[in-house]
Structure 1
Amino acid sequence: MTVLVVSNVRPWGDPPADVVITDGVVTEVVPAGSAPAGDDRLDGGGSLALPGFVNAHAHVDKSWWGQPWVPAGGAASTRERIAYERGHRERLGIPNVASTTAVLRELLRHGTTAVRTHVDVDLGTGLRGLDRVREAAAALDDAVELTIVAFPQDGVLRRPGVLDLLERAAASGAAGIGGIDPASLDRDPVAQLDGLFAIAERHGTWLDIHLHDRGELGAFQYELIIDRTLATGLRGRVTISHGFALGELPPDRQEQLLDRLAEAGISGTTVAPVRTAPLPWPGLRDRGLPLGLGTDGIRDLWSPYGDGDLLRVALDFARLHGLSTDEDLTRVVELATVGGAPFVHRASHGLVPGARADLVLLDAENVPDALVRAPRRRLVLAGGRPVVRDGEPLAG
């Protein structure tokens, strides 16, 4: 048994405390100076302490991070972006272990210790993206814990053979399988969802459907996904990512859809993109529906943006939703930390006994100050192991 004491920190801005970690798990949080002696001790110096950030929606296989700058392609629609990516990824060697490792290092540098990542599975790459991502995680000694979703970025039905690849991915240990715009991309929403739900039921995987379609077309697909979830054994195991339509509906229509989402236990993730409608996140919270924050792609053929800092995504979320009170700003940081636990299949995540000891120390006055300034991460622990010190990863 190994005991580590992280002393003199301020969990969530509370009075100074000591965090006691035993074999990589938080066992006690006690007033500063009262922790028993351990095998090792780290002085937190009065830093603000937060749980490790949870990136609930990433695509770490797509990035060209570490390679020379790649100009954006100018593609506007989802279909055009898919085509542009497919036409240029081979010259960049995407997917590859080096770029994926570099992206994971950036996530870790900013305090992210757990990630749900979508990994492309298609007729061009087959399943090799899954292997590349696993190799990259191993190169960092699994300092970033990954939950992998096999993702059919190029569509499901319009590319015969993709359903078979998703079946193989699920059989090989992927935690989830994905779907994308059943109506506008495959143009057969019923058949796409039938195929995906059947695989998820057979293998006990989670299901994460990217839904970019807007307005009533998007709402229609929400309803189809809800119907399938209620008709199967997947309640509480389905996520709708992006889901822009939910924020665009009239209030009474939103309320109706929120009630049905709660009945089916369907969660959501967002990357808080600019120029989209705010989501009814208080309604999701009041119904106990998880909402996770993610970076989406980082420096890839869809977009040149992103640095891996989930605090910046959380700030974008706060701005998009017009939030300014300390209470609301703190709630947004909760979305980026403890609120992400369901998306990486953790029953507990936080600075509480029984949780994996993922801990981030920052020089900030309080949580709102950390959100607004996004200061350098002074120390990051993953499973009780120091993995970042003074902003520099120690792993990989």
Structure 2
Amino acid sequence: MPEATTGTAAHHDGAPAPGRVVAGGLVDAHIHPDKSNWGGPWMSRTAAAGLSEFIANDLATQRGYTRSVEERAYGLLSTALANGTLAMRAHVDVSSELGLRNVEGVRTAASRLAPWLTVQIVAFPQFGLLTNPGTLEVMAASLDAGADLVGGIDPLGLEGDVDAHLDAVFGLAERSGRDLDIHLHDGGEPGLAQIREIAACTVARGMQGRVTVSHAFALAEQSAPSLRETLDRVAEAGLWVTTCALGDDPVLDPELLEAHGVELALGSDGVRDSWTPFGTGSMVDRAHLFAYRTGAMTDAQLERAYRIASEQGGRLLGIPELSAPAAADAPTRLEFAGESLAQLVVDRPAPERVVRDGRTLAAR
């Protein structure tokens, strides 16, 4: 367990010490800790031609792990915490085959890091919902076993029935009083049409501000005829969107989303799992990748990348202390060696000090 000390590095007038930058705590808005091989031996990966093959590789990899979900997840979560992540939304696989074990493993790992790290768990039907009978019942049970949100996945591309999939996940969210976070990899006009349908369902069911579309690759296709109309529908419905800047995946344009009033947060997605050999557990590193891939150059653009990885994630998860810039003497803050927030995004350091609720995380 992390240990804590009390105190502050700020001067008596509240100014940060020379050569030190005070920043808000980081939030990983989309991560899959149950899939990770963090801390294990090198794992060679099999190339995949598309989403279905990636999913099949993932299931085979999970069947082959000899270390528990808790052990692997704890290694990744504790590394993220040491790098300044104070909250995360973890998408955790639930299926008729896996049952509740991944949710229980991640929840146990997260409990070992409380109250330093706040973890929201999404019950995620990675291996199908309509196409994998019994999964919806396991998802409902997971909400009593440590999951916080209902998840969904590509209603058209993987499930083949947009209306039935959305009825299932929105229905479960309504019955349980939980929020909803839907993976959507489908691109082009079919992807945009699904996003508009999610927005319409959100409004019809009075769930504005409580629904997230993860990845939303279709929103990155700026030549799509219906893109701007779709962004307006997203904003009207209060949908959140998350992006991860991973590999060759499309990355959403923060300026375009801001212009349409769309809320954006940033996550790591897969970290050292069957999907990718990459990932460090650092959201400063992820902010760097996001800034790089979106062409950030000015200080304001670099600072925006940090905000999307911190304050925006705090707002998505509903954590007030992580939803605003941190003052020099704030009870929850990160302290870095450096000159400016923009420099941090470029240099990608780990924080020298992690403070939450007035307590300092001891060096490990």
TM over 0.5: yes
Deviation at 1:148, TM superposition (A): 1.0
What secondary structure does 1:377 align onto?
coil
The amino acid that maps onto 1:369 is Q
1:368 aligns to 2:351 (yes or no): no
Deviation at 1:202, TM superposition (A): 1.0
The amino acid that maps onto 1:65 is W
Match of 1:219 among 182, 192, 195: 192
Match of 1:166 among 135, 139, 146: 139
What secondary structure does 1:240 align onto?
strand
Identity across matched positions, percent: 36
Contact 1:123 1:161 in 2 (8 A): yes
1:85 aligns to 2:58 (yes or no): yes
Q: In structure 2, what is the equivalent of residue 264 of structure 1?
A: 237
The amino acid that maps onto 1:7 is A
Q: In structure 1, what is the equivalent of residue 264 of structure 2?
A: 291
Deviation at 1:351, TM superposition (A): 4.5
Match of 1:317 among 262, 276, 290: 290
What secondary structure does 1:68 align onto?
coil
Contact 1:51 1:358 in 2 (8 A): yes
Q: Which consecutive unaligned segments of at least 5 residues does structure 1 have?
A: 9-16, 19-29, 33-42
What secondary structure does 1:147 align onto?
strand
Contact 1:274 1:320 in 2 (8 A): no
Assess, with a 3 A threshold, how the Cα gap between structure 1 residues 329 and 268 changes in structure 2: closer, same or farther.
Answer: same
Q: In structure 1, what is the equivalent of residue 14 of structure 2?
A: 31
Deviation at 1:172, TM superposition (A): 4.2
Q: In structure 2, what is the equivalent of residue 14 of structure 1?
A: none
Aligned counterparts of 2:246 and 2:298: Cα–Cα separation in 1: 21
Deviation at 1:44, TM superposition (A): 5.2
Aligned counterparts of 2:67 and 2:356: Cα–Cα separation in 1: 28
Q: In structure 2, what is the equivalent of residue 253 of structure 1?
A: 226
Aligned counterparts of 1:144 and 1:202: Cα–Cα separation in 2: 28
Deviation at 1:356, TM superposition (A): 8.2
Q: Which consecutive unaligned segments of at least 5 residues does structure 2 have?
A: none
Q: Tell me how large the CA RMSD over aligned residues is.
A: 2.2
Aligned counterparts of 2:325 and 2:362: Cα–Cα separation in 1: 18
What secondary structure does 1:360 align onto?
strand
Deviation at 1:47, TM superposition (A): 1.3
Q: In structure 2, what is the equivalent of residue 199 of structure 1?
A: 172
Deviation at 1:250, TM superposition (A): 2.4
Assess, with a 3 A threshold, how the Cα gap between structure 1 residues 73 and 305 changes in structure 2: closer, same or farther.
Answer: same
Assess, with a 3 A threshold, how the Cα gap between structure 1 residues 326 and 312 changes in structure 2: closer, same or farther.
Answer: same
Aligned counterparts of 2:19 and 2:38: Cα–Cα separation in 1: 34
Match of 2:277 among 301, 304, 313: 304
Contact 2:332 2:355 in 1 (8 A): yes
1:54 aligns to 2:27 (yes or no): yes
What secondary structure does 1:380 align onto?
strand
What secondary structure does 1:196 align onto?
helix
Q: Tell me the alpha carbon deviations over residues 141-187 of structure 1, each in whole angstroms, 9 at most, x when there is no partner.
A: 44211011111111110001111111222344522111111101111
Assess, with a 3 A threshold, how the Cα gap between structure 1 residues 375 and 69 changes in structure 2: closer, same or farther.
Answer: same
Deviation at 1:290, TM superposition (A): 2.1
Contact 2:32 2:91 in 1 (8 A): yes
Match of 2:332 among 341, 346, 358: 358
Q: In structure 1, what is the equivalent of residue 123 of structure 2?
A: 150
1:332 aligns to 2:305 (yes or no): yes
The amino acid that maps onto 2:359 is R
Assess, with a 3 A threshold, how the Cα gap between structure 1 residues 240 and 387 changes in structure 2: closer, same or farther.
Answer: same
Q: In structure 2, what is the equivalent of residue 37 of structure 1?
A: none
Aligned counterparts of 1:241 and 1:209: Cα–Cα separation in 2: 6
The amino acid that maps onto 2:262 is L
Q: In structure 2, what is the equivalent of residue 380 of structure 1?
A: 354
| Bigger Rg, structure 1 or 2 | 1
Contact 1:95 1:129 in 2 (8 A): no
The amino acid that maps onto 2:237 is A
Match of 1:243 among 216, 224, 228: 216
Q: In structure 1, what is the equivalent of residue 8 of structure 2?
A: 6
Contact 2:24 2:326 in 1 (8 A): no
Assess, with a 3 A threshold, how the Cα gap between structure 1 residues 126 and 356 changes in structure 2: closer, same or farther.
Answer: farther
**Following superposition, which runs of at least 4 residues in structure 1 exceed 6 angstroms of deviation?**
none
Assess, with a 3 A threshold, how the Cα gap between structure 1 residues 101 and 278 changes in structure 2: closer, same or farther.
Answer: closer
TM-score by length of 1: 0.85
Count of matched residue positions in the alignment of Structure 1 and Structure 2: 358
- Kindly indicate whether structure 1 or structure 2 has the higher relative contact order, using CA contacts under 8 Å at least 6 residues apart: 2
Deviation at 1:139, TM superposition (A): 2.3
